[in-house]
Amino acid sequence: MKFLEYTPFDRINDFLRELNLGERTIKGSLEAYSCKHTGTDKRLSLSLENEILDSLGKSSDTDSSPVEFLLSRSSRKTLIYLVLTLYHMYPDYDLSAVKAHQFFTEEIWDTFKQIFETYMLEASKEWIETYGGSSLLETVYKALDEVVNLSECEIYSYNPDSDADPFLEKGAIWSFSFFFYNRKLKRVVSFSFCCLSNLVGDGFLADNLCSEEDGEIFDNMDM
């Protein structure tokens, strides 16, 4: 997998690098990767394939949807590309391909659109105030379409457990990760966006907690 630089992403990434909204900060990033193996990708790919096949060999329930999905070589290849993309985005993150499959869900554009419009509402208002013209969602759509041709894309969301989420930062209120995969172009685009509490970063919650505990202590004392 090779990181690809595309100018259509630049303005969006600059805007979402750290969008301060007072008590909250929105952060987002669009990244494109080719599915051509480079460096250690071949070894990693083979290791992931063997891990999946080994899991299939141990499974007694071949009719369950996750296992049935992995029986297809094409589906396994897609999963490996998605996992390799995660490896390149987060090289220190230890990810099991079989476990990862439980967290990837195939989506449609309307699902992504609904989530984006709901959770990125404030960011979208800031975008219009800053740039005017096309909305943030329209700009994201045009950029994605230019890079991976959305009409030919498979869309996946990645929703791991909170304690195993490489996207989840300290103080995160919510976090979403989507992958847009074009088989013909052999290209994957990841789009992750999250909302962080500035109150946690400023120590506000910890200070308040200490104040409340001190208050309770003094309440029980004879002054």
Task: Give domain status of residue 222, yes or no.
Answer: no
Predicted pLDDT at 160: 76
Task: Give domain status of residue 52, yes or no.
Answer: yes
Predicted pLDDT at 130: 94
Task: Give domain status of residue 217, yes or no.
Answer: no
* Count of structural domains within the chain: 1
DSSP state at residue 132: -
Task: Give domain status of residue 203, yes or no.
Answer: no
Crossing angle of helices 7-16 and 121-131, rounded to 10°? 110
Q: Which residues contact 95 (CB under 8 A, 6 or more apart)?
A: 83, 86, 87, 166
Residue 189's CB: how many other CB atoms inside 10 A? 24
Q: Which residue range forms the structural domain that includes residue 71?
A: 2-197
pLDDT along the chain (223 residues), means of 10: 91 96 94 85 75 68 52 77 83 66 84 96 96 95 96 90 64 88 95 89 45 44 42
Distances (CA, A) of 35 to 30, 38, 83, 93, 144: 16, 9, 11, 19, 16
Task: Give domain status of residue 130, yes or no.
Answer: yes
Predicted pLDDT at 221: 43
Predicted pLDDT at 166: 64
Predicted pLDDT at 208: 45
Task: Give domain status of residue 165, yes or no.
Answer: yes
Task: Give domain status of residue 118, yes or no.
Answer: yes
Task: Give domain status of residue 209, yes or no.
Answer: no
What CATH number should be reported for the domain holding residue 21? 3.40.1000.50
Residues facing 31 on adjacent strands:
190
